[in-house]
Amino acid sequence: MTGISRTFISLTQRTAVLAALLLVAVITSPARASDSVVDSFALDNGMQVVVIPDHRAPIVTHMVWYNVGAADDPKGHSGLAHFLEHMMFKRTKTLAEGEYSRIVARNGGRHNAFTSADYTGYYQTVAVDRLPLMMELEADRMVGLVLDEQDILSERDVVLEERSMRIDSQPMALLREQMAAAQFTVHPYGIPIAGWRRELEKLSLKDVRDFYDKYYNPANAILIVAGDVTTEQVRTLAGKYYGPLKGTVLPKRVRAQEPEQTEAKRVDYRDQRVQQPTWLRSYHAPSYSAGRKELAPALDVLAEILGSGVVSRLYQKLVVEQRVAVAAGSQYSSISYDPDSFLFYAVPRPGLAPTPEESLDILEKATDAVIAEIVEKGITEEELNRVKTGLVAEMIYARDSNSTMAQIFGQALTTGSTIEDVLNWPDEIRAVTTDDVLEAARYVLDIRKSVTGRLLPKQPEQAGEMK
């Protein structure tokens, strides 16, 4: 019932996201599909509504996005946004506990929710004639959630167990958590979305209720409907179900900004459960919404060239030519409300060196050489054109999913971008030059702005155990 995505995001997800964004320009172009225009309007209570028509099948995805995420958790109450996401599936003034999910299931729908650092979202995918019911259900829990102390105690155990399963039992997740804390010492991106265990254990009914009352209202929400609908149909339904709710406009989100990092940091995490050592490095980087955001399109291209797929520079150099790695790549976190990160990873070939530490040293030197070449010489026109052509080709796969399109717009709008920004993204990518990529690489790939992480096995003697 959740997606706490910063720690667990797939290293290949950016390619899919970029492809979906590029697709938007195709399906909204009057020259291609005159009846598929992304539309938007606002209700009187401040709720923004986005409509993405797609009449190929009588289904619809209904999503409500809140402009609040884990980075907005009050100090000392980490995990609260994610905890509230869980609590939203409890009872309301009109529905008994569990009835919400049973109603969606009885009507042939599927539903879920997710929390990121910047947003919280809830969605249902159903037959189009069930859309009024989904709006009624979502509007009901937007303002009518009912909780008691026992709810907090029982669900807190569930959230703690989820943290145990997804983070505490996963050495890689624990390393990523420590690297984020080292990279973001002031900004809340350094705090895990799932929350620190010691703070989760203290979350109270008052904490949850105050957070819900502050952030869950239509003026702080975005409704996105994608599927077999028209703007007028959605306008009528949204006005009926969400329109009567009172909206309270919140101040613009302002978070503590990370001071410029001037010295490289290193984090080693050793764990007896580690079977395969891994090397990571993360650099501070602007996003499409913050920092030197004009560099974001070039950084998207750079991430593809350096570490996306088997033709990327990292894979070709480390895996194919030098045979020091079995996997290598990069990931750029560009869709964030504040400046975020640019990540590299590499996994050594078994038996590469006598010790795991030596294996990772070899990988680090090899990766540094690839980075240095990019920073010194930039990329080729051939690489640039290949990446652009590849992104265009991949957009076809995203077109078949209403939920993917709703996801793309929701992520953009809750992280500071606009519909126009999304629609203009393909032109921004097409306009990227080799000089742009070189400038972006030199700005971001500065070792002083980095955190290098090593995931290593812990030997019995290191754990203080008897041999």
Task: Convert the pLDDT of each residue in 83-102 to its tens digit.
Answer: 999 999 999 999 999 999 99
Please calculate the CA angle 203-208-213 and round it to the nearest 5 degrees: 155
Tokens 């955001």 -> residue: 293
Answer whether residue 149 shows pLDDT above 50: yes
161 and 91 part of one domain: yes
Is residue 446 within 8 Å of 283, Cβ to Cβ? yes
Report pLDDT for 460: 67
Report pLDDT for 231: 97
345 and 414 part of one domain: yes
Question: Which tokens is 318 given?
Answer: 């480390």
Distances (CA, A) of 324 to 12, 352, 356: 21, 6, 12
Amino acid identity at 288 = Y
Question: Which tokens is 320 given?
Answer: 């194919």
Is residue 141 within 8 Å of 86, Cβ to Cβ? no
221 and 273 part of one domain: no
Question: Which tokens is 144 given?
Answer: 């009518």
pTM of the prediction?
0.91
The number of distinct structural domains making up the chain is 2
Answer whether residue 371 shows pLDDT above 90: yes
Nearest partner of 54 among 380, 405, 373, 336, judged by Cα: 405
In three-state secondary structure terms, 206 is: helix
Domain presence at residue 14: no
Domain presence at residue 382: yes
Residues 6+ positions from 182 with CB-CB distance below 8 Å: 190, 265, 267, 451
232 and 310 part of one domain: no
Is residue 363 within 8 Å of 346, Cβ to Cβ? yes
pLDDT one-digit tens code per residue, 116-141: 999 999 999 999 999 999 999 999 99
Please report which helix (H) or strand (E) contains residue 303, including its range.
helix 296-307
391 and 332 part of one domain: yes
Is residue 356 within 8 Å of 457, Cβ to Cβ? yes
115 and 224 part of one domain: yes
Give the pLDDT band of residue 316 (cuts 50, 70, 90).
Answer: very high
| Chain centroid, CA 55 distance in Å | 28
Question: Which tokens is 232 given?
Answer: 């007028």
Provide the greatest CA pair distance for the chain: 73
Domain presence at residue 103: yes
How far apart CA 197 and CA 381 sit, in angstroms, is 49
pLDDT one-digit tens code per residue, 377-386: 999 999 999 9
226 and 153 part of one domain: yes
Distances (CA, A) of 307 to 72, 105, 299, 302, 454: 31, 41, 12, 8, 19
Domain presence at residue 256: no
Give the pLDDT band of residue 401 (cuts 50, 70, 90).
Answer: confident
CA-CA-CA-CA torsion sign (359, 363, 366, 372)? negative
Give the residue from 207, 241, 275 where a domain finishes. 241
User: Which residues participate in catalysis according to the annotation?
Assistant: 85
In three-state secondary structure terms, 199 is: helix
Report pLDDT for 143: 96
In three-state secondary structure terms, 40 is: strand
195 and 270 part of one domain: no
Question: Which tokens is 130 given?
Answer: 């069930």
Tokens 């969605």 -> residue: 123
Domain presence at residue 227: yes
Long-range contacts of 274-277 (CB under 8 A, 24+ apart): 274/171, 274/455, 274/456, 274/457, 274/458, 275/457, 276/347, 277/347, 277/348, 277/356, 277/359, 277/360, 277/454, 277/455, 277/456, 277/457
224 and 298 part of one domain: no
Give the residue from 197, 225, 241 where a domain finishes. 241
283 and 160 part of one domain: no
Report the CATH number that the domain containing residue 169 is assigned in CATH.
Answer: 3.30.830.10
Report pLDDT for 37: 81
DSSP 27-50: HT-TTT-TT---EEEE-TTS-EEE
168 and 236 part of one domain: yes
Domain presence at residue 335: yes
Is residue 42 within 8 Å of 426, Cβ to Cβ? no
How far apart CA 29 and CA 220 sit, in angstroms, is 29
Beta strand pairing call for 325-332 and 340-348: antiparallel
Give the residue from 204, 225, 241 where a domain finishes. 241
Cβ burial of 264 (10 Å; 0-12, 13-18, 19+) is: middle
Question: Which tokens is 223 given?
Answer: 């409704």
Answer whether residue 17 shows pLDDT above 60: no
217 and 273 part of one domain: no
Q: DSSP assignment, residue 349? A: P
Domain presence at residue 9: no
Total Cβ atoms within 10 A of residue 410: 22
How far apart CA 287 and CA 342 sit, in angstroms, is 10
Supply the range of the domain harboring residue 335: 265-457
Residues 6+ positions from 408 with CB-CB distance below 8 Å: 17, 20, 21, 24, 398, 422
Domain presence at residue 7: no
pLDDT one-digit tens code per residue, 357-368: 999 999 999 999
Give the pLDDT band of residue 393 (cuts 50, 70, 90).
Answer: low
Total Cβ atoms within 10 A of residue 320: 11
Give the pLDDT band of residue 392 (cuts 50, 70, 90).
Answer: low
